[in-house]
Amino acid sequence: MNSETPAKPAQKPRFTDRFLDVVERVGNALPDPTTLFALSALAVIVLSGIAAQFDLSVAHPTTGEVIEPVSLLSVEGLHRILTGLVTNFTGFAPLGTVLVALIGIGVAEVSGLIGAVMRMLVLKSPRALLTPVVVFCGVLSNAASEVGYVLLVPLAALIFKAAGRHPVLGLAAAFAGVSGGYSANFVLGTIDPLLAGLSQEAAQIIDPAYVVSPAANYYFMFVSTFLITALGWWVTEKLVAPRLAASGAVEVDGEGGDADEAIKPLAPAEKRGLLFASVAFAVMTGLLLWGLLPADGFLRDPETGGVLHSPFLKGIVAIIFFYGVGLGTAYGVGAGTVRSDRDVIKGMSDQMSTLGGYLVLVFFAAQFVAFFNWTNLGLIFAVEGAQVLKSAGLHQVPLLLTFILLSAVINLVMGSASAKWALMAPVFIPMFMLLGYPPELIQIAYRVGDSVTNVISPMMSYFALIIAFVQRYVSKAGIGTLVSLMLPYSITFLIGWSIMFVIWLMMGWPVGPGVPATLAVPGAAGG
């Protein structure tokens, strides 16, 4: 096998391999991710003190309020750090989500359910469709993003491992779909009404009666699902897989064992366990549908009767927990791997014990993100970048493509999609409306840019978790490993999605139901 590997990289474009290798080496030359986040937090403190000594303030685009850098290199800053250190950690958004979901998943894993399902999928699914199915599922899962990050990404690694392929390859494909394809989907997610509300407020600066629907981007999102699946499939097989297989590429040294053992036919006990789990799944899903399908279902929004803001979507992590415990226990009873409540508790405990490194990393990552927000440095960077773009004098396609690129760059320093849009929408939506572009179009341009760099942004909330998943298989993996792994996806998605956006723009198609192709507003240059 080793004698064959040198021949493969020779057929690869030397520039591509060398570039990604440099990215990986440079990235991995950095300190451990935990140390890096700690040093970055200290750097923000120092930088805030320097910034406060100079006139780096900007005006808020909506209120006109002066945004000034806040120094943490002061007595007041010290007090805030001391009093906020614990709450920064406990209030870090992904922390509770990850812990609760993985407690439930731990039962399913220890009982043997996940392993049995993986082997069944490998044995019964065409190998050629494994990659596109994983990417596609990743895209669909981003409607409730926690599901994709917490469940699908590690699951895809196990599926690829069971199929005899590099587990990190499956992890990368799933991560690309979940995070890189964040604005592609067949269904509306919780982010859609949030962004629409912000866009509506910004649009009403020009037109007080303008309404932006939560489904404002649905047409574009729907078609984008197929685009991201196809691009993710191509990148995985044509760019990432050959590099992982090449000499000197990432090698499994963690849980990478003999994949042949993982694809043995299911034993009778395992089949019985899957039957029990199937019954449990049917019962739990029936209860779920009972609460969702009727207009007055108990899982719908009690005020509006809708699903978008329902307890179902808000409690999706809790549902994952119950499914994990319920299906894992049912499988274990059928397969004989769960004989008492102690086996269930052991599954929960074992899964939690694997998160020690992640918890330490998250502690320092949470401090860095909090300090960055406290100092207003992220806001200042975003506003200054927006002003540069606004004053560039570009029009139509170049302007919108530049806006996509700006959104992609800002996403590298600000993690929250809604926070960035709350700042950017009041600047760009009125400007673009006066040029004849509807707010819904500008919103989708922002979402494209915001999505494509998720997979390479350390500011993305789940970035640390993904590094931890990679380290299960590649113990020496660091930020450089993950960035070099995902960079081909980021670049390809940016190019492919931008081309689709330009075609959409030139054809004059609406990006969602009831969305006009152009606007005719007072002072519009393009309407």
Q: pLDDT digits over 418-438, tens only?
A: 777 877 787 788 777 777 789
Which is higher by pLDDT, 30 or 249?
30
Which is higher by pLDDT, 185 or 7?
185
The C-alpha angle with vertex 163 and arms to 166 and 115, in degrees rounded to 5, equals 105
Question: Is residue 514 in some structural domain?
Answer: no
Question: Is residue 1 in some structural domain?
Answer: no
Q: Which two tokens stand for residue 225?
A: 């699902």
Phi-psi region of 244 (alpha: psi -120 to 50; beta: other; left: phi over 0): alpha
- Percentage of the residues of the chain whose pLDDT score is greater than 90: 24
Supply the pLDDT for residue 301. Answer: 82
Instruction: Look at residue 499 and tell me whether its pLDDT is greater than 50.
Output: yes
> Domain range spanning residue 372?
9-507
Q: What is the pLDDT of residues 243-280, one digit of tens each?
A: 888 744 556 666 544 444 445 678 899 999 999 999 99
Supply the pLDDT for residue 220. Answer: 94
Q: Which two tokens stand for residue 80?
A: 């805030």
Supply the pLDDT for residue 360. Answer: 84
Q: What's the CA gap between 81 and 424, in Å, rounded?
A: 28
Count Cβ atoms below 10 Å from residue 13 Cβ, excluding itself. 9
At 401, is the pLDDT very low, low, confident or very high (cuts 50, 70, 90)?
Answer: very high
Count Cβ atoms below 10 Å from residue 99 Cβ, excluding itself. 17
State how many domains the chain has.
1
Q: What is the pLDDT of residues 185-226, one digit of tens each?
A: 887 776 787 788 888 888 887 788 888 888 889 899 999 999
Q: Which residues pair with 233 in a beta bridge?
A: none
Q: Which residues pair with 66 in a beta bridge?
A: 59
Question: Is residue 68 in some structural domain?
Answer: yes
Instruction: Look at residue 146 and tell me whether its pLDDT is greater than 80.
Output: no
Question: Is residue 512 in some structural domain?
Answer: no
CA 307, 198, 500, 240 torsion-angle sign: negative
- One-character DSSP codes across 419-455: HHHHHHHHHHHHHHHHTT--HHHHHHHHHHHHHHTGG
Instruction: Look at residue 111 and tell me whether its pLDDT is greater than 80.
Output: yes
At 339, is the pLDDT very low, low, confident or very high (cuts 50, 70, 90)?
Answer: confident
Question: Is residue 527 in some structural domain?
Answer: no
Question: Is residue 193 in some structural domain?
Answer: yes
Tell me the pLDDT of the chain averaged across its residues: 80
Q: Which two tokens stand for residue 272?
A: 């019985």
Question: Is residue 2 in some structural domain?
Answer: no
C-alpha pair distances (Å), 106 with each of 117, 343, 363, 475, 505? 15, 11, 22, 21, 47
Q: What's the CA gap between 410 and 350, in Å, rounded?
A: 38
Q: Which two tokens stand for residue 113?
A: 């359910």
Which is higher by pLDDT, 70 or 362?
70
Supply the pLDDT for residue 420. Answer: 76
Question: Is residue 214 in some structural domain?
Answer: yes
**Per mean pLDDT, which of 60-74, 133-147, 324-338, 460-474 is the most reliable?**
324-338
Average of per-residue pLDDT across 406-417: 80
